[in-house]
Structure 1
Protein backbone atom coordinates (compact mmCIF):
# COMPACT_ATOMS: atom_id res chain seq x y z
CA UNK A 1 0.00 0.00 0.00
CA UNK A 2 1.25 3.47 -0.93
CA UNK A 3 0.43 6.65 0.94
CA UNK A 4 1.61 10.08 -0.22
CA UNK A 5 0.33 13.02 1.81
CA UNK A 6 0.49 16.78 1.43
CA UNK A 7 -1.34 19.52 3.30
CA UNK A 8 -4.71 20.53 1.86
CA UNK A 9 -5.91 24.12 1.48
CA UNK A 10 -5.92 26.79 -1.18
CA UNK A 11 -4.89 26.41 -4.78
CA UNK A 12 -1.66 27.91 -6.09
CA UNK A 13 -3.35 31.28 -6.62
CA UNK A 14 -4.59 31.41 -3.03
CA UNK A 15 -8.22 30.82 -4.03
CA UNK A 16 -10.41 28.60 -1.85
CA UNK A 17 -11.46 25.42 -3.62
CA UNK A 18 -15.04 24.09 -3.57
CA UNK A 19 -14.18 20.66 -2.16
CA UNK A 20 -11.49 21.68 0.34
CA UNK A 21 -11.31 19.11 3.12
CA UNK A 22 -13.86 16.73 1.59
CA UNK A 23 -12.76 13.08 1.72
CA UNK A 24 -13.32 11.24 -1.55
CA UNK A 25 -12.93 7.61 -2.60
CA UNK A 26 -12.72 6.98 -6.33
CA UNK A 27 -12.66 3.30 -7.29
CA UNK A 28 -11.00 2.10 -10.46
CA UNK A 29 -8.91 5.26 -10.49
CA UNK A 30 -5.37 4.26 -11.42
CA UNK A 31 -6.11 4.96 -15.10
CA UNK A 32 -8.72 6.18 -17.57
CA UNK A 33 -11.98 7.76 -16.41
CA UNK A 34 -11.34 7.08 -12.74
CA UNK A 35 -7.95 8.77 -12.82
CA UNK A 36 -9.46 11.83 -14.53
CA UNK A 37 -12.13 11.99 -11.82
CA UNK A 38 -9.54 11.72 -9.05
CA UNK A 39 -7.48 14.45 -10.69
CA UNK A 40 -10.46 16.81 -11.01
CA UNK A 41 -11.66 16.27 -7.44
CA UNK A 42 -8.09 16.78 -6.16
CA UNK A 43 -7.88 19.98 -8.18
CA UNK A 44 -10.97 21.17 -6.30
CA UNK A 45 -9.33 20.40 -2.96
CA UNK A 46 -10.68 16.97 -2.02
CA UNK A 47 -8.57 14.50 -0.06
CA UNK A 48 -8.33 11.55 -2.43
CA UNK A 49 -8.25 7.79 -2.00
CA UNK A 50 -7.52 6.07 -5.31
CA UNK A 51 -8.03 2.37 -5.90
CA UNK A 52 -7.31 0.07 -8.80
CA UNK A 53 -4.82 -2.16 -10.52
CA UNK A 54 -1.31 -1.34 -11.69
CA UNK A 55 2.40 -1.44 -11.00
CA UNK A 56 3.17 -0.41 -7.42
CA UNK A 57 6.01 1.93 -8.36
CA UNK A 58 3.89 3.59 -11.05
CA UNK A 59 1.00 4.06 -8.63
CA UNK A 60 3.36 5.57 -6.05
CA UNK A 61 4.56 8.01 -8.71
CA UNK A 62 0.96 8.78 -9.63
CA UNK A 63 0.02 9.54 -6.02
CA UNK A 64 3.01 11.83 -5.63
CA UNK A 65 2.24 13.61 -8.89
CA UNK A 66 -1.41 14.23 -8.00
CA UNK A 67 -0.51 15.38 -4.51
CA UNK A 68 2.23 17.74 -5.66
CA UNK A 69 0.16 19.14 -8.50
CA UNK A 70 -2.89 19.96 -6.41
CA UNK A 71 -1.40 20.31 -2.92
CA UNK A 72 -3.87 17.88 -1.40
CA UNK A 73 -3.45 14.48 0.28
CA UNK A 74 -3.63 11.43 -2.01
CA UNK A 75 -3.69 7.86 -0.76
CA UNK A 76 -3.73 4.54 -2.61
CA UNK A 77 -5.66 1.51 -1.38
CA UNK A 78 -5.32 -1.85 -3.11
CA UNK A 79 -8.65 -3.32 -1.94
CA UNK A 80 -10.02 -6.16 -4.09
CA UNK A 81 -13.52 -4.89 -4.86
CA UNK A 82 -14.77 -8.36 -5.76
CA UNK A 83 -14.74 -9.15 -2.02
CA UNK A 84 -17.36 -7.57 0.23
CA UNK A 85 -15.05 -7.53 3.22
CA UNK A 86 -12.33 -5.78 1.25
CA UNK A 87 -14.75 -3.04 0.20
CA UNK A 88 -15.71 -2.47 3.82
CA UNK A 89 -12.04 -2.36 4.80
CA UNK A 90 -11.39 0.22 2.05
CA UNK A 91 -13.98 2.56 3.54
CA UNK A 92 -12.71 1.95 7.09
CA UNK A 93 -9.04 2.57 6.19
CA UNK A 94 -9.97 5.73 4.29
CA UNK A 95 -11.90 7.07 7.27
CA UNK A 96 -9.04 6.30 9.67
CA UNK A 97 -6.53 8.00 7.38
CA UNK A 98 -8.48 11.14 6.44
CA UNK A 99 -11.80 11.21 8.28
CA UNK A 100 -15.33 10.14 7.32
CA UNK A 101 -15.87 9.61 3.59
CA UNK A 102 -18.03 12.39 2.14
CA UNK A 103 -17.73 11.66 -1.60
CA UNK A 104 -17.92 8.17 -3.06
CA UNK A 105 -17.39 7.65 -6.77
CA UNK A 106 -18.11 4.05 -7.76
CA UNK A 107 -16.24 3.85 -11.05
CA UNK A 108 -14.53 0.44 -11.11
CA UNK A 109 -15.75 -1.96 -13.77
CA UNK A 110 -14.79 -4.92 -15.92
CA UNK A 111 -16.20 -6.27 -19.17
CA UNK A 112 -16.50 -9.56 -21.05
CA UNK A 113 -18.23 -10.07 -24.38
CA UNK A 114 -19.89 -13.34 -25.38
CA UNK A 115 -23.27 -14.76 -26.50
CA UNK A 116 -25.41 -15.72 -23.51
CA UNK A 117 -25.32 -19.43 -24.22
CA UNK A 118 -21.52 -19.33 -24.27
CA UNK A 119 -21.05 -16.85 -21.43
CA UNK A 120 -18.79 -18.39 -18.74
CA UNK A 121 -20.61 -18.37 -15.37
CA UNK A 122 -17.42 -17.32 -13.60
CA UNK A 123 -17.22 -14.23 -15.84
CA UNK A 124 -20.84 -13.40 -15.02
CA UNK A 125 -20.09 -13.68 -11.29
CA UNK A 126 -16.95 -11.55 -11.56
CA UNK A 127 -18.66 -8.77 -13.51
CA UNK A 128 -21.63 -8.64 -11.13
CA UNK A 129 -19.25 -8.58 -8.15
CA UNK A 130 -17.14 -5.65 -9.39
CA UNK A 131 -19.71 -3.67 -11.37
CA UNK A 132 -22.72 -3.97 -9.07
CA UNK A 133 -22.15 -5.65 -5.70
CA UNK A 134 -19.11 -3.48 -4.90
CA UNK A 135 -21.28 -0.39 -5.47
CA UNK A 136 -23.77 -1.70 -2.90
CA UNK A 137 -21.14 -2.62 -0.34
CA UNK A 138 -19.32 0.72 -0.59
CA UNK A 139 -22.57 2.70 -0.49
CA UNK A 140 -23.81 0.79 2.54
CA UNK A 141 -20.57 1.51 4.40
CA UNK A 142 -20.35 5.26 3.73
CA UNK A 143 -23.97 6.15 4.43
CA UNK A 144 -23.92 6.14 8.26
CA UNK A 145 -21.20 8.80 8.48
CA UNK A 146 -22.74 10.81 5.65
CA UNK A 147 -26.09 10.75 7.45
CA UNK A 148 -24.51 11.85 10.74
CA UNK A 149 -22.77 14.76 9.02
CA UNK A 150 -25.84 15.72 6.99
CA UNK A 151 -23.89 15.81 3.73
CA UNK A 152 -22.74 13.30 1.16
CA UNK A 153 -22.31 12.76 -2.56
CA UNK A 154 -22.45 9.34 -4.20
CA UNK A 155 -21.82 9.18 -7.93
CA UNK A 156 -22.08 5.85 -9.71
CA UNK A 157 -20.36 5.70 -13.07
CA UNK A 158 -22.81 3.51 -14.93
CA UNK A 159 -22.91 3.50 -18.73
CA UNK A 160 -25.20 4.05 -21.66
CA UNK A 161 -25.62 0.31 -21.17
CA UNK A 162 -27.37 1.05 -17.90
CA UNK A 163 -30.17 2.52 -20.02
CA UNK A 164 -30.13 0.39 -23.18
CA UNK A 165 -28.99 -3.08 -24.21
CA UNK A 166 -26.43 -4.41 -26.67
CA UNK A 167 -25.85 -7.96 -27.87
CA UNK A 168 -23.16 -10.11 -26.24
CA UNK A 169 -22.83 -7.94 -23.12
CA UNK A 170 -25.36 -9.69 -20.87
CA UNK A 171 -23.48 -9.41 -17.58
CA UNK A 172 -22.29 -5.84 -18.15
CA UNK A 173 -25.73 -4.60 -19.22
CA UNK A 174 -27.44 -6.41 -16.34
CA UNK A 175 -24.96 -4.97 -13.82
CA UNK A 176 -25.23 -1.42 -15.14
CA UNK A 177 -29.03 -1.58 -15.17
CA UNK A 178 -28.75 -2.73 -11.57
CA UNK A 179 -26.52 0.25 -10.75
CA UNK A 180 -29.19 2.60 -12.12
CA UNK A 181 -31.81 0.93 -9.93
CA UNK A 182 -29.58 1.07 -6.85
CA UNK A 183 -28.90 4.75 -7.56
CA UNK A 184 -32.62 5.52 -7.48
CA UNK A 185 -33.24 3.58 -4.28
CA UNK A 186 -30.28 5.24 -2.54
CA UNK A 187 -31.49 8.66 -3.61
CA UNK A 188 -35.00 8.02 -2.30
CA UNK A 189 -33.81 6.68 1.04
CA UNK A 190 -31.40 9.59 1.55
CA UNK A 191 -33.58 12.38 0.14
CA UNK A 192 -34.01 14.17 3.49
CA UNK A 193 -30.51 13.47 4.78
CA UNK A 194 -28.50 15.94 2.70
CA UNK A 195 -27.09 13.07 0.63
CA UNK A 196 -27.46 12.85 -3.13
CA UNK A 197 -26.89 9.82 -5.31
CA UNK A 198 -26.69 10.01 -9.08
CA UNK A 199 -25.49 7.93 -12.00
CA UNK A 200 -23.32 9.20 -14.84
CA UNK A 201 -23.85 7.23 -18.03
CA UNK A 202 -21.01 7.64 -20.54
CA UNK A 203 -21.08 6.38 -24.07
CA UNK A 204 -17.72 5.63 -25.65
CA UNK A 205 -14.89 7.47 -23.91
CA UNK A 206 -11.40 7.83 -25.35
CA UNK A 207 -9.00 5.99 -23.06
CA UNK A 208 -5.78 4.02 -23.69
CA UNK A 209 -7.85 0.81 -23.56
CA UNK A 210 -10.22 2.03 -26.29
CA UNK A 211 -7.28 3.23 -28.37
CA UNK A 212 -5.86 -0.29 -28.23
CA UNK A 213 -9.25 -1.76 -29.23
CA UNK A 214 -9.44 0.54 -32.24
CA UNK A 215 -6.03 -0.59 -33.49
CA UNK A 216 -6.82 -4.26 -32.88
CA UNK A 217 -10.16 -4.11 -34.70
CA UNK A 218 -8.64 -2.27 -37.64
CA UNK A 219 -6.15 -5.11 -38.08
CA UNK A 220 -8.75 -7.82 -37.48
CA UNK A 221 -11.26 -6.42 -39.99
CA UNK A 222 -8.78 -5.06 -42.52
CA UNK A 223 -10.19 -1.53 -42.37
CA UNK A 224 -8.79 1.83 -41.30
CA UNK A 225 -8.86 3.01 -37.71
CA UNK A 226 -11.17 5.85 -38.76
CA UNK A 227 -13.64 3.32 -40.19
CA UNK A 228 -13.51 1.33 -36.96
CA UNK A 229 -14.34 4.47 -35.02
CA UNK A 230 -17.18 5.71 -37.22
CA UNK A 231 -18.74 2.46 -38.47
CA UNK A 232 -18.17 0.10 -35.55
CA UNK A 233 -17.63 1.78 -32.18
CA UNK A 234 -19.52 5.03 -32.80
CA UNK A 235 -22.18 3.66 -35.14
CA UNK A 236 -24.92 4.45 -32.58
CA UNK A 237 -23.35 7.64 -31.18
CA UNK A 238 -24.78 10.56 -33.20
CA UNK A 239 -22.00 13.06 -32.58
CA UNK A 240 -19.43 10.56 -33.98
CA UNK A 241 -16.75 11.41 -31.47
CA UNK A 242 -15.51 9.94 -28.24
CA UNK A 243 -16.14 11.76 -25.01
CA UNK A 244 -13.00 12.58 -23.09
CA UNK A 245 -12.30 11.28 -19.60
CA UNK A 246 -12.12 14.91 -18.49
CA UNK A 247 -15.70 15.49 -19.65
CA UNK A 248 -16.91 12.64 -17.47
CA UNK A 249 -14.81 13.97 -14.58
CA UNK A 250 -16.32 17.42 -15.02
CA UNK A 251 -19.82 15.96 -14.78
CA UNK A 252 -18.90 14.12 -11.59
CA UNK A 253 -17.39 17.28 -10.09
CA UNK A 254 -20.55 19.24 -10.92
CA UNK A 255 -22.64 16.64 -9.09
CA UNK A 256 -20.48 17.26 -6.01
CA UNK A 257 -21.03 21.02 -6.20
CA UNK A 258 -23.61 23.14 -4.35
CA UNK A 259 -25.34 23.82 -7.68
CA UNK A 260 -26.30 20.13 -7.89
CA UNK A 261 -27.81 19.88 -4.40
CA UNK A 262 -31.29 19.17 -5.80
CA UNK A 263 -30.13 16.65 -8.39
CA UNK A 264 -30.58 13.15 -6.99
CA UNK A 265 -31.72 9.83 -8.37
CA UNK A 266 -30.81 11.02 -11.87
CA UNK A 267 -29.11 9.13 -14.66
CA UNK A 268 -27.10 11.70 -16.60
CA UNK A 269 -26.15 10.64 -20.11
CA UNK A 270 -22.78 11.78 -21.45
CA UNK A 271 -23.05 9.79 -24.64
CA UNK A 272 -23.13 12.12 -27.63
CA UNK A 273 -26.85 11.50 -28.13
CA UNK A 274 -26.65 7.69 -28.17
CA UNK A 275 -29.63 7.14 -25.86
CA UNK A 276 -31.65 9.90 -27.55
CA UNK A 277 -32.61 7.45 -30.34
Structure 2
Protein backbone atom coordinates (compact mmCIF):
# COMPACT_ATOMS: atom_id res chain seq x y z
CA UNK A 1 0.00 0.00 0.00
CA UNK A 2 2.61 2.53 1.15
CA UNK A 3 6.14 2.50 2.52
CA UNK A 4 6.14 3.82 6.10
CA UNK A 5 9.76 3.04 6.93
CA UNK A 6 11.07 5.53 9.48
CA UNK A 7 7.59 6.69 10.49
CA UNK A 8 6.19 6.39 14.02
CA UNK A 9 2.50 5.89 14.77
CA UNK A 10 0.58 5.85 18.05
CA UNK A 11 -2.62 3.83 18.46
CA UNK A 12 -4.69 4.23 21.62
CA UNK A 13 -6.87 1.28 22.52
CA UNK A 14 -4.44 -0.77 20.46
CA UNK A 15 -4.58 -4.12 22.25
CA UNK A 16 -7.72 -5.52 20.61
CA UNK A 17 -10.26 -5.14 17.82
CA UNK A 18 -9.89 -2.30 15.35
CA UNK A 19 -7.00 -0.80 17.30
CA UNK A 20 -4.97 -4.00 17.11
CA UNK A 21 -5.86 -4.52 13.43
CA UNK A 22 -4.58 -0.99 12.78
CA UNK A 23 -1.35 -1.65 14.68
CA UNK A 24 -0.75 -4.78 12.61
CA UNK A 25 -1.44 -2.98 9.33
CA UNK A 26 0.88 -0.10 10.19
CA UNK A 27 3.65 -2.53 11.14
CA UNK A 28 3.15 -4.46 7.90
CA UNK A 29 3.74 -1.24 5.96
CA UNK A 30 7.02 -0.55 7.75
CA UNK A 31 6.00 1.85 10.52
CA UNK A 32 7.19 1.64 14.11
CA UNK A 33 4.22 1.68 16.46
CA UNK A 34 3.39 2.60 20.04
CA UNK A 35 0.17 1.27 21.48
CA UNK A 36 -1.60 1.61 24.78
CA UNK A 37 -4.51 0.02 26.59
CA UNK A 38 -5.76 -0.25 30.14
CA UNK A 39 -4.62 -3.84 30.77
CA UNK A 40 -0.86 -4.34 31.12
CA UNK A 41 -1.32 -8.12 31.02
CA UNK A 42 -3.22 -8.01 27.74
CA UNK A 43 -0.69 -5.60 26.24
CA UNK A 44 2.20 -7.88 27.18
CA UNK A 45 0.58 -10.81 25.40
CA UNK A 46 -0.30 -8.77 22.33
CA UNK A 47 3.16 -7.23 22.02
CA UNK A 48 4.83 -10.64 22.31
CA UNK A 49 2.81 -11.83 19.31
CA UNK A 50 3.45 -8.65 17.37
CA UNK A 51 7.21 -8.90 17.89
CA UNK A 52 7.13 -12.49 16.69
CA UNK A 53 5.16 -11.53 13.58
CA UNK A 54 7.12 -8.33 12.83
CA UNK A 55 10.69 -8.98 14.05
CA UNK A 56 12.16 -6.01 12.20
CA UNK A 57 9.87 -3.40 13.68
CA UNK A 58 10.17 -1.33 16.82
CA UNK A 59 7.13 -1.68 19.08
CA UNK A 60 6.46 0.16 22.33
CA UNK A 61 3.54 -0.41 24.67
CA UNK A 62 2.37 0.95 27.99
CA UNK A 63 -0.71 0.51 30.12
CA UNK A 64 -2.50 3.84 30.05
CA UNK A 65 -5.96 5.19 30.84
CA UNK A 66 -6.57 7.81 28.16
CA UNK A 67 -8.95 9.62 30.50
CA UNK A 68 -6.05 10.35 32.86
CA UNK A 69 -4.16 13.30 31.39
CA UNK A 70 -1.06 12.65 33.50
CA UNK A 71 -0.86 9.05 32.35
CA UNK A 72 -1.21 10.11 28.73
CA UNK A 73 1.53 12.73 29.07
CA UNK A 74 3.84 10.11 30.60
CA UNK A 75 2.99 7.72 27.77
CA UNK A 76 3.80 10.40 25.18
CA UNK A 77 7.18 11.14 26.80
CA UNK A 78 8.12 7.46 26.88
CA UNK A 79 7.07 6.98 23.26
CA UNK A 80 9.41 9.80 22.25
CA UNK A 81 12.25 8.26 24.27
CA UNK A 82 11.69 4.82 22.77
CA UNK A 83 10.72 5.48 19.16
CA UNK A 84 11.36 9.15 18.39
CA UNK A 85 9.01 11.68 16.82
CA UNK A 86 5.40 10.70 16.17
CA UNK A 87 3.75 11.67 12.87
CA UNK A 88 0.54 9.60 13.10
CA UNK A 89 -1.93 9.54 16.01
CA UNK A 90 -4.88 7.16 15.98
CA UNK A 91 -7.46 8.00 18.65
CA UNK A 92 -9.33 4.76 19.18
CA UNK A 93 -11.08 4.26 22.49
CA UNK A 94 -14.56 3.81 23.91
CA UNK A 95 -17.58 1.58 23.44
CA UNK A 96 -21.27 2.33 23.12
CA UNK A 97 -23.75 2.78 25.96
CA UNK A 98 -27.24 1.33 25.61
CA UNK A 99 -29.63 3.88 27.08
CA UNK A 100 -32.60 6.07 26.24
CA UNK A 101 -33.15 9.67 27.32
CA UNK A 102 -35.56 8.48 30.01
CA UNK A 103 -33.12 6.07 31.67
CA UNK A 104 -29.85 8.02 31.32
CA UNK A 105 -29.12 9.84 34.57
CA UNK A 106 -26.73 12.76 35.01
CA UNK A 107 -23.82 10.55 36.05
CA UNK A 108 -24.22 8.40 32.95
CA UNK A 109 -24.34 11.48 30.70
CA UNK A 110 -21.19 12.88 32.29
CA UNK A 111 -19.37 9.56 32.06
CA UNK A 112 -20.24 9.05 28.39
CA UNK A 113 -19.41 12.61 27.32
CA UNK A 114 -16.12 12.52 29.23
CA UNK A 115 -15.12 9.19 27.69
CA UNK A 116 -15.82 10.18 24.12
CA UNK A 117 -14.33 13.69 24.32
CA UNK A 118 -11.36 13.32 26.62
CA UNK A 119 -10.11 10.10 25.06
CA UNK A 120 -9.46 12.35 22.04
CA UNK A 121 -8.56 15.57 23.85
CA UNK A 122 -5.97 14.10 26.23
CA UNK A 123 -4.02 12.16 23.62
CA UNK A 124 -4.18 14.97 21.07
CA UNK A 125 -2.85 17.48 23.62
CA UNK A 126 -0.06 15.12 24.66
CA UNK A 127 1.17 14.33 21.15
CA UNK A 128 0.50 17.66 19.44
CA UNK A 129 4.05 19.00 20.02
CA UNK A 130 5.42 15.86 18.35
CA UNK A 131 3.04 16.11 15.41
CA UNK A 132 3.90 19.76 14.84
CA UNK A 133 7.45 18.72 13.97
CA UNK A 134 6.36 16.78 10.87
CA UNK A 135 5.10 18.13 7.56
CA UNK A 136 3.01 15.01 6.92
CA UNK A 137 1.41 14.64 10.37
CA UNK A 138 -2.09 13.25 10.75
CA UNK A 139 -4.64 12.50 13.44
CA UNK A 140 -7.40 9.95 12.87
CA UNK A 141 -10.35 9.59 15.25
CA UNK A 142 -12.29 6.33 15.24
CA UNK A 143 -15.93 7.33 15.53
CA UNK A 144 -19.33 5.76 14.96
CA UNK A 145 -22.04 6.21 12.38
CA UNK A 146 -24.16 7.22 15.37
CA UNK A 147 -22.52 10.64 15.02
CA UNK A 148 -24.58 11.29 11.89
CA UNK A 149 -27.33 8.70 12.30
CA UNK A 150 -28.38 8.60 15.98
CA UNK A 151 -30.28 5.72 17.54
CA UNK A 152 -32.88 6.32 20.28
CA UNK A 153 -31.62 3.35 22.31
CA UNK A 154 -28.10 4.87 22.38
CA UNK A 155 -28.97 8.50 23.07
CA UNK A 156 -25.93 9.47 25.15
CA UNK A 157 -23.44 7.74 22.85
CA UNK A 158 -25.10 9.21 19.75
CA UNK A 159 -24.89 12.73 21.16
CA UNK A 160 -21.28 12.29 22.26
CA UNK A 161 -20.28 10.81 18.90
CA UNK A 162 -21.83 13.79 17.08
CA UNK A 163 -19.78 16.10 19.27
CA UNK A 164 -16.58 14.24 18.40
CA UNK A 165 -17.36 14.54 14.69
CA UNK A 166 -17.66 18.29 15.19
CA UNK A 167 -14.43 18.29 17.22
CA UNK A 168 -12.59 16.60 14.35
CA UNK A 169 -13.70 19.31 11.96
CA UNK A 170 -12.76 22.06 14.42
CA UNK A 171 -9.31 20.60 15.04
CA UNK A 172 -8.78 20.17 11.31
CA UNK A 173 -9.39 23.89 10.79
CA UNK A 174 -7.20 24.94 13.71
CA UNK A 175 -4.32 22.55 12.97
CA UNK A 176 -4.19 23.03 9.18
CA UNK A 177 -1.72 25.96 9.41
CA UNK A 178 0.54 23.64 11.42
CA UNK A 179 0.44 21.10 8.59
CA UNK A 180 -1.53 18.56 10.63
CA UNK A 181 -4.48 16.84 8.98
CA UNK A 182 -7.37 15.61 11.16
CA UNK A 183 -9.95 13.11 9.91
CA UNK A 184 -12.18 10.34 11.21
CA UNK A 185 -14.02 7.20 10.28
CA UNK A 186 -17.69 6.47 10.99
CA UNK A 187 -18.18 2.83 11.88
CA UNK A 188 -21.26 0.76 11.42
CA UNK A 189 -21.47 -2.72 12.93
CA UNK A 190 -17.99 -4.25 13.08
CA UNK A 191 -17.05 -7.60 14.60
CA UNK A 192 -15.73 -6.66 18.04
CA UNK A 193 -15.51 -7.83 21.61
CA UNK A 194 -18.75 -6.00 22.33
CA UNK A 195 -20.67 -7.95 19.68
CA UNK A 196 -18.94 -11.21 20.66
CA UNK A 197 -20.14 -10.74 24.24
CA UNK A 198 -23.70 -10.21 23.00
CA UNK A 199 -23.32 -13.38 20.94
CA UNK A 200 -22.20 -15.31 24.04
CA UNK A 201 -25.36 -14.10 25.81
CA UNK A 202 -27.67 -15.19 22.94
CA UNK A 203 -30.88 -17.04 23.75
CA UNK A 204 -30.27 -19.92 21.32
CA UNK A 205 -26.90 -21.34 22.38
CA UNK A 206 -26.90 -23.74 19.43
CA UNK A 207 -26.70 -20.84 16.96
CA UNK A 208 -23.25 -20.32 15.44
CA UNK A 209 -21.49 -16.95 15.24
CA UNK A 210 -21.86 -17.01 11.45
CA UNK A 211 -25.62 -17.53 11.61
CA UNK A 212 -26.13 -15.12 14.49
CA UNK A 213 -24.11 -12.31 12.89
CA UNK A 214 -25.75 -12.77 9.49
CA UNK A 215 -29.20 -12.55 11.13
CA UNK A 216 -28.05 -9.43 12.96
CA UNK A 217 -26.92 -7.87 9.69
CA UNK A 218 -30.31 -8.59 8.14
CA UNK A 219 -32.17 -7.06 11.09
CA UNK A 220 -29.99 -3.96 10.87
CA UNK A 221 -30.52 -3.72 7.08
CA UNK A 222 -26.81 -3.76 6.26
CA UNK A 223 -26.71 -3.76 2.48
CA UNK A 224 -23.54 -5.87 2.25
CA UNK A 225 -25.28 -8.49 4.38
CA UNK A 226 -22.63 -8.96 7.09
CA UNK A 227 -20.75 -7.28 9.90
CA UNK A 228 -17.55 -5.46 9.04
CA UNK A 229 -14.14 -6.87 9.87
CA UNK A 230 -11.60 -4.96 12.01
CA UNK A 231 -9.05 -5.02 9.18
CA UNK A 232 -11.52 -3.26 6.88
CA UNK A 233 -11.76 -0.36 9.32
CA UNK A 234 -7.97 -0.45 9.71
CA UNK A 235 -7.47 0.08 5.96
CA UNK A 236 -9.61 3.25 6.09
CA UNK A 237 -7.59 4.45 9.08
CA UNK A 238 -4.31 3.77 7.26
CA UNK A 239 -5.49 5.82 4.28
CA UNK A 240 -6.33 8.82 6.46
CA UNK A 241 -3.21 8.55 8.62
CA UNK A 242 -0.75 8.55 5.73
CA UNK A 243 0.12 10.70 2.70
CA UNK A 244 -2.26 8.51 0.67
CA UNK A 245 -4.83 11.14 1.77
CA UNK A 246 -2.50 14.13 1.70
CA UNK A 247 -5.21 16.55 0.47
CA UNK A 248 -7.91 15.39 2.89
CA UNK A 249 -8.70 16.99 6.23
CA UNK A 250 -11.84 17.57 8.29
CA UNK A 251 -13.46 14.57 6.60
CA UNK A 252 -14.97 11.25 7.64
CA UNK A 253 -14.98 7.92 5.81
CA UNK A 254 -18.16 5.89 6.18
CA UNK A 255 -17.29 2.25 7.03
CA UNK A 256 -20.77 0.83 7.55
CA UNK A 257 -21.45 -1.69 4.79
CA UNK A 258 -24.23 0.47 3.36
CA UNK A 259 -26.33 0.82 6.51
CA UNK A 260 -25.84 4.59 6.40
CA UNK A 261 -28.87 6.70 5.54
CA UNK A 262 -27.39 10.13 6.21
CA UNK A 263 -26.72 12.56 3.40
Whether these two folds match at TM > 0.5 is: yes
Residue 219 of structure 1 and its aligned partner are, at CA, apart by 3.9
- C-alpha distance in 1 between matches for 2:135 and 2:129: 10
Query: Which residue number corresponds to residue 248 of structure 1?
Result: 233
Residue 207 of structure 1 and its aligned partner are, at CA, apart by 2.3
Tell me, yes or no, if the aligned pair for 1:24 and 1:102 is still in contact at 8 Å.
yes
Query: Which residue number corresponds to residue 211 of structure 1?
Result: 196
- C-alpha distance in 2 between matches for 1:231 and 1:134: 29
Q: Secondary structure at the match of 1:166?
A: coil
Query: Which residue number corresponds to residue 51 of structure 1?
Result: 36
Residues 234 and 242 of structure 1, relative CA distance in 2, 3 Å threshold: farther
- C-alpha distance in 2 between matches for 1:234 and 1:248: 22
Q: Secondary structure at the match of 1:199?
A: strand
Query: Which residue number corresponds to residue 66 of structure 1?
Result: 50
Residue 261 of structure 1 and its aligned partner are, at CA, apart by 0.1
Residue 189 of structure 1 and its aligned partner are, at CA, apart by 1.6
Tell me, yes or no, if the aligned pair for 2:67 and 2:122 is still in contact at 8 Å.
no
Residue 92 of structure 1 and its aligned partner are, at CA, apart by 2.3
Query: CA-atom RMSD, angstroms?
Result: 2.5
Query: Which residue number corresponds to residue 104 of structure 2?
Result: 119
- C-alpha distance in 1 between matches for 2:177 and 2:153: 40
Query: Which residue number corresponds to residue 215 of structure 2?
Result: 230
Residue 243 of structure 1 and its aligned partner are, at CA, apart by 0.9
- C-alpha distance in 2 between matches for 1:231 and 1:206: 11
Q: Secondary structure at the match of 1:117?
A: coil
Moved more, 240-249 or 41-50: 41-50
2:81 equivalent to 1:96: yes
- C-alpha distance in 1 between matches for 2:73 and 2:33: 17
Tell me, yes or no, if the aligned pair for 1:156 and 1:198 is still in contact at 8 Å.
yes
Match for residue 26 of structure 2 among 37, 41, 63:
41
- C-alpha distance in 1 between matches for 2:123 and 2:68: 11
Query: Which residue number corresponds to residue 143 of structure 2?
Result: 158
- C-alpha distance in 2 between matches for 1:177 and 1:188: 17
- C-alpha distance in 2 between matches for 1:152 and 1:233: 39
Tell me, yes or no, if the aligned pair for 2:37 and 2:43 is still in contact at 8 Å.
no
Q: Secondary structure at the match of 2:128?
A: helix
- C-alpha distance in 1 between matches for 2:160 and 2:124: 16
TM-score (norm 1): 0.84
TM-score (norm 2): 0.88
- C-alpha distance in 2 between matches for 1:131 and 1:206: 20
